[in-house]
Chain A
Amino acid sequence: MKLAALVRLVRRDLARARRALAGSAFGIAAGTATLVFFLALGLGVRSVLLGEVFPIDRIELEPPKAKDPGLLGLLLGGGGEPTGISPDDVAKLAALPGASRVRPKLSFAFPASARGGREILGHDVGAGELPGDGIDPALAANDVKPGLFVDPMDTPGPACTDDAACAGGAYCERAEGAAEGRCSAPVPAIVSRYLVEIFDKSIAPAHGFPAVGETLLGRAQGITFTIRLGESLLGRAKLGSPRTIKARIVGISGSATDLGLTFPLGVVRRWNREFGGDRAAERYSSAVVEARSGAEVAGIIDAGARMGLSPKDTRARDVSVLVSGVMALLSLVAGIVLVVSASSITQTFRALVLERRAEIALYRAVGATAGEIGAWTVSLAAVVGFFAGAVGLLVARILAFLADWAAAEKLPDFPFKPDTFFAFPWWLWLLGMGFSILFSVLGAIGPARAAAKVDPARALAGS
């Protein structure tokens, strides 16, 4: 049988049995809509949780915390010192099969404080204790415009002895004891979305500050803060003399430390050497290992454990497992709906075959093979599945839209509240359509076999 003839047969069936077919297609459409809606919800939530809150494709490993010095140790002025991660350890992590890249981090090994923010908040605010760290600028490459997040001393300005000698907002970068320094552009810094959220949801309301959205922060990029290195509310650094530098916010990044400011690695290494000594400059505080896929993360954690390193945060893995579990459960529900719908297709097609025994027999008499009769029935089911799938996908998309609208209107604002709770990647459309057609066809296989087995002689005789 030619394809055109098959299409003609199916088209005629759709026209004359549309009510019966629509009834059986309803279940398939409902199952598809349920499946796609829940999968899109799971993917969307996972995208927010694992993309912005707890990135899953990277894991930050850190060395054991400094040992508790005990009461005697405190009295004697001693204290545990973090062991750090050596450059050799970084190389070993980079060589792990599941790791695509390793980005070491260097935390401040000295106290610091900051003051600024007039451009955004209307007046300066201060942070008596400023945590900070340094990262490989490549880690923030996707979040910051090229050339902004780099060590200013890569292209140092003219020699200077104080800030007055530097023009255009630059300051004099001069380590304690050095005869002269070099004029430096304000040191670029990035902040985390988490920090912005904390500020907006907790600090700003308490102090009557305006919320700092990403757009506002983006507009305010270029504002400078003054940072006091080597001195904070809690004390001074053991080495060096406190001095003041200028820093500039250049962007928001998931790679930035959750609490504090993040600078280019070379800058922090230089400051750590000045205020904490050579060891503080060479041993990293943690290392972010980028995995080739989310599935590799567990192997990287195990390998890190053998090197004495532990994950800084396992929430990503926990959330991933939780979201996957919930998605599997909801998909199971949708699967059950589809299976029940397939049985509805079976009933409808069985009735159609029974009702059309004489017609099938006539087709056999005029030259149809049993296979062609079966193919006709299955094709009709596939087309019903296609239309049911299209309706199901449309319904899922509309429901998602309504849910997003309701969430935007009715739910209170909360950290990381997304614009949409759903993700509809192209493959989800294909998956929904594929399942719809598959279950329709599966439901029609039994009736198709029965149709192919109709005894033409008996059917034409009316028995």
Chain B
Amino acid sequence: MSVPAIRTRGLSRVHEGGRDARRALADVEISVEEGEFVCVLGPSGSGKSTLLAVIGGLDRGYQGQVELFGEDLGRMSDAALARLRGERIGFVFQHFHLLHHLTVIENVTTPALFDPRGDDEGCVARAKELLERLGLADRAGDTPAELSGGQRQRVAIARALLRKPKLLLCDEPTGNLDEATGARIIELFEELHREERLTIVAVTHEERLARAASRILRLRDGRVDAANEEPA
């Protein structure tokens, strides 16, 4: 039996805010197999982004257990967790989080800065290959300010794929895009999932992205609505 890409057990997360404490996740139990394309649907404030941050090792203030590729995140040091993020996880954000003082290719190669084993030439070649594949080869020297929203998100996807991750975590990846551009990004995720067997977990409140996933998890008030877990 293969080890799941993601497994959570009794996962809870409470955001402390002075006298007010807000429970973002409550006793979440999920399992995502390698190569799955899972979409987490839910309204705003349902805990989708918190779930993604916890799974991605960016938020360590949770209770319960989170395993990524069989490794317990709670037992890992900051350095080991950073190494895991760099080597196995790619992040795609709603707001792209591109660095505006850098060119497109410099943005794409940003993860290589923190790769102790990477070589410059190989990384630039990989970045060019990704930009070619995403239709941005001629924009490598431009800055993000010169790109459209869809192009920016494709740059962010190229950055996420630079170090050949096994897991792509996407937080509202089409949330800032118009319908046509969002559709093209969704097609891209489908292609990556189909051709590279990439494990993708995307959180969204848009049904059109959910339709591309192989499985849908519905989150409500920090809990997975088991009754509504369904294949797409």
A interface list, Cβ under 8 A from B: 1-2, 4-5, 8-9, 12, 15-16, 358-359, 361-372, 455-457, 460-462
Contacts and interface: CB of A to CB of B under 8 A. Distances in A.
A15 B56 CA distance: 32
Interface of B: 49-50, 53, 56, 58-59, 78-79, 82-83, 85-87, 91, 93, 95, 97, 99, 101-102, 110-116, 120, 159, 163
9 contacts: A362-B97, A365-B58, A367-B83, A367-B86, A367-B87, A369-B114, A455-B59, A457-B59, A460-B58
B85 A367 contact: yes
Nearest to A5: B113
Contacts of A461: 49, 53
A5 B114 contact: yes
Contacts, number: 77
Given A359-B99, A367-B83, A8 B113 contact: yes
Most buried by A among B79, B82, B102, B116: B82
A362 B87 contact: no
Most buried by A among B102, B114, B120, B163: B114
Given A369-B78, A371-B79, A457-B53, A1 B116 contact: yes
Contact of B82 (A4, A8, A358, A368): A368
B183 to A, nearest CB: 25
A2 B79 contact: no
Given A364-B82, A456-B58, A9 B113 contact: yes
A181 B99 CA distance: 98
B113 A1 contact: yes
Nearest to A1: B114
A372 B85 CA distance: 14
B78 A12 contact: no
A369 to B, nearest CB: 4
Nearest to A2: B116
Contacts of A16: 101
A287 B94 CA distance: 88
Q: Which 7 residue pairs are nearest across A and B when measured between Cβ atoms?
A: A367-B86, A457-B53, A366-B111, A457-B59, A367-B114, A369-B82, A5-B113
Given A8-B113, A367-B83, 18 more contacts: A2-B116, A5-B113, A358-B97, A361-B58, A362-B97, A362-B99, A365-B56, A365-B85, A366-B91, A366-B111, A366-B114, A367-B87, A367-B115, A369-B79, A369-B82, A457-B50, A460-B58, A461-B49
A164 B97 CA distance: 105
A359 B112 CA distance: 15
A358 B96 CA distance: 11
Contacts of A369: 78-79, 82-83, 114
A366 B111 CA distance: 5
Nearest to B169: A365
A437 to B, nearest CB: 23
A359 B101 CA distance: 11
Contacts of B101: 12, 15-16
